[in-house]
Structure 1
Amino acid sequence: MGKFKCCTNKSHANFFCVICYNVFHTSCMERMQIPQKIGEHTVLCSGECINKYRETNKNTIEKPIMELKISQLLDEIRSLREQMVYTEEEKEKEVTELQQQINNLEISLDDKNKQLKQMKRLSVSFENDVFATEQNYEQKLKDSEELLKDLNKSITSLGQKNS
Structure 2
Amino acid sequence: MTDQELQVWVEAISLRSFGRAFTHRATFNSRLRSTGGRYFMKSHNIEINPKQLEHYGTAETEKIIKHELCHYHLHLLGRGYQHRDADFKSLLKKVDGSRFCQSLPGAQSRRHLPYRYELVCQSCGQKYPRKKKVDVKRYRCGKCAGKLKLFPLQPEAK
Q: Say whether the fold is shared (TM-score over 0.5).
A: no
**Which structure ranks higher in relative contact order (CA pairs < 8 Å, sequence separation ≥ 6)?**
2
Higher share of residues assigned helix: 1
Higher share of residues assigned strand: 2
Interval of TM-score (by shorter of Structure 1 and Structure 2): under 0.3
